[in-house]
Structure 1
């Protein structure tokens, strides 16, 4: 029987995101980040000092990873861009669908090899307009195509298994990987089928025990699946449209969850678009740095 937990957390930031996404955290700098995709904004928050900054971007962006102490890499509409931490300057690292005006980046995550898996989708969720790419050292390889809304990209702690979902289909896929490269090493298969359940599988992370934590858009919950794919816990959230979780804090004791206000009835959903933090008891695990060269 699935354990359901009433939300016992806090509002991390009560600024409303039209489409909050791509949360992440760097233990070295103690910096939390997330995006408001539709407003082309990168939000930065220091976990210790609570200093906040909003960076306006020239196009829609959805995910970020650390490269080194001086640079980050941001998944944007037209590709991956280096972001200089000191100056804020952006420079193209690897183009992804640069001439396709229909698509933008969506969910993305770094594999233990340093490879960045980056999903694309239609700006209006056009059917099968997107894909998922493997990027390592600037080399871009398409690994899955005809994806409508790529989400839940995450990896087992050993790096030998990858997961992703097309939210339009609501079936979490599992694929064996080469742990050294993060490339598929066999055929994908359906791992968890939630196509008949309310809401849609959105962003996800895999914790240190191999459990998958998935934000269920439209259902207002954060679901915990064990390594066998069983739903073992469900955390209620105070917003109906959660989009993605991430571990935050140097001890990883908190999990943040972004949400979306788009299409929400704000008179009935006053917390729509806010960013939340809660304690789940999961074994924390942070994404590694992207290997640029």
Structure 2
């Protein structure tokens, strides 16, 4: 069965990323990392609001209907959606201008896993952090491009990749704290398959959906790592999926236009735009962060 996602919003982001469905607002939030912009979009693909920042922001966590926590260049900041006001929560690599945040996601326990990377993308200067209840813990260092951070519905398994390795890894996690237990092991080796492993999300059945940068698709992996199905996306640089909509059965997919030649952009007129597809499986509701 071939399924193809359709264009939902022709936003042509340089680097569309970090989509999450806000259950209380019934809106999809996502970023154009390179343009320092946050969008709020309805399930129908209409822009409800947008915000322009003066720093790079890659991901958000839900606090309540009025507030998000943003993973910014310098750390975590509380963001008031009505006023645009920002309050510092916790510094992360604030003294390292060469790094920025990237793929990050909230664990069912309310813990926020935050990835960082160098802007140049050419050396392992990034890390992965765990934030919960005011405490920041370093989980990994020596990372090039952190991606695919996501969690099983019971909170007992975390998934993650350093994109250049082409290996999606997994580790057991404490369901009450979101902290890792034990050692990382291989979940899926995507070497020889389409593209590079980018953002990912786990559905309500425990299957992992992984966007493939350069692969024009989102791949659904079964809990044993095998490929269950593929959703085609009509642009090449696919960055991250998110479940949303009233029944959580719509998959929204962000993409990117960065580093594409004029010829490539002519061939992919909607590169960087937001795509969507209705599925027969629901996602998980987005957990709120535990501050």
TM-score w.r.t. length of structure 2 = 0.96
Quote the Cα distance in structure 1 between the aligned partners of 2:17 and 2:81.
Answer: 20
Residue aligning to 1:240: 236
Residue aligning to 1:163: 159
Residue aligning to 1:194: 190
Q: Is the 8 A contact 2:19 2:242 kept in 1?
A: yes
- Cα RMSD of the aligned pairs, angstroms, is 1.3
Residue aligning to 2:169: 173
Deviation at 1:201, TM superposition (A): 0.2
SS of residue paired to 1:188 = strand
* Worse-matched range after superposition: 165-174 or 69-78: 69-78
Unaligned ranges ≥5, structure 2:
none
* Worse-matched range after superposition: 147-156 or 135-144: 135-144
Q: CA offsets per residue over residues 166-189 of structure 1, 9 Å max, x none?
A: 001110011011111000111111
Residue aligning to 1:287: 286
Q: Is the 8 A contact 1:30 1:48 kept in 2?
A: no
Structure 1 residues 139-158: aligned runs within 5 Å: 139-158=135-154
Residue aligning to 2:86: 90
SS of residue paired to 1:21 = strand
Quote the Cα distance in structure 2 between the aligned partners of 1:159 and 1:106.
Answer: 22
Structure 1 residues 29-108: aligned runs within 5 Å: 29-47=25-43, 50-108=46-104
Quote the Cα distance in structure 1 between the aligned partners of 2:122 and 2:289.
Answer: 29
TM-score w.r.t. length of structure 1 = 0.95
Unaligned ranges ≥5, structure 1:
none
Deviation at 1:53, TM superposition (A): 1.8
Residue aligning to 2:134: 138
SS of residue paired to 2:183 = coil
SS of residue paired to 2:265 = coil
Q: Is the 8 A contact 2:24 2:64 kept in 1?
A: no
Q: Give the direction of change, closer, same or farther, for the CA distance of 1:34–1:114 in structure 2 (3 Å limit).
A: same
SS of residue paired to 1:99 = coil
- 1:226 paired to 2:226: no
- 1:272 paired to 2:271: yes
Quote the Cα distance in structure 1 between the aligned partners of 2:185 and 2:289.
Answer: 27
Aligned residues: 288
Deviation at 1:85, TM superposition (A): 2.0
